[in-house]
Amino acid sequence: MSATTDFIHVFEPGTDPARPPVLLLHGTGGNESDLLPLGRMVAPGAALLSPRGQVLENGMPRFFRRLSEGVFDEDDLRRRTDDLAAFIRDAQARHGIAAPVALGFSNGANVAASLLLRHPGLLRGAALLRAMVPYAEPPAARLEGTKALLLSGAADPIVPAANSERLAGILQAAGASVKHHALPLGHGLSQMDVALTRDWLAAL
């Protein structure tokens, strides 16, 4: 465990140079260890970079502040996204890794979507599990050559189906190649998420 650009994080070197590194972004209350088992399952042999969110909400780590459930502090989101982007660039230089693919869940998926829109080209792609539209008025971005996987839950009590559809549309309009699956699930993850993410990553 180490801190770079103030992020506590875990870095696991890869054993398969053909695989892009994976940036793991946990949900609310998670930490830098939370998604490591998932990363190993869906991207065997890939280097894994997993930072801990710097914001605490009732003692639970997050990547940015929210005003209430589903209502983001967009000024904080912009600043935290830029800090995370600086961390990623620093980690690339430090560890000698290529542009990563983000794998984010919930709050981590939201900040990954923000990274795509605010820092086009930083990520090779992103698997967004239970993500929401991060901005009321998303910034213009050029995402040609970027791939995105959106896995939403049809029974998700936190993310309305229309919100997931809007996020897919925003990324497509920016030029990203988007695959969106609405799964018969709630906000939690399942083996369907694992299988779909693993297959999508293998095809990159």
**What are the residue numbers of the active site?**
106, 156, 187
The residue among 113, 129, 128 whose CA lies nearest residue 174 is 113
139 φ, ψ (degrees, to nearest 5) = -65, 150
SS (H, E, C) the chain: CEEECCEEEEEECCCCCCCCCEEEECCCCCCCCCCHHHHHHHCCCCCEEEECCCEEECCEEECCCEEECCEECHHHHHHHHHHHHHHHHHHHHHHCCCCCEEEEECHHHHHHHHHHHHCCCCCCEEEEECCCCCCCCCCCCCCCCCEEEEEEECCCCCCCHHHHHHHHHHHHHCCCEEEEEEECCCCCCCHHHHHHHHHHHHCC
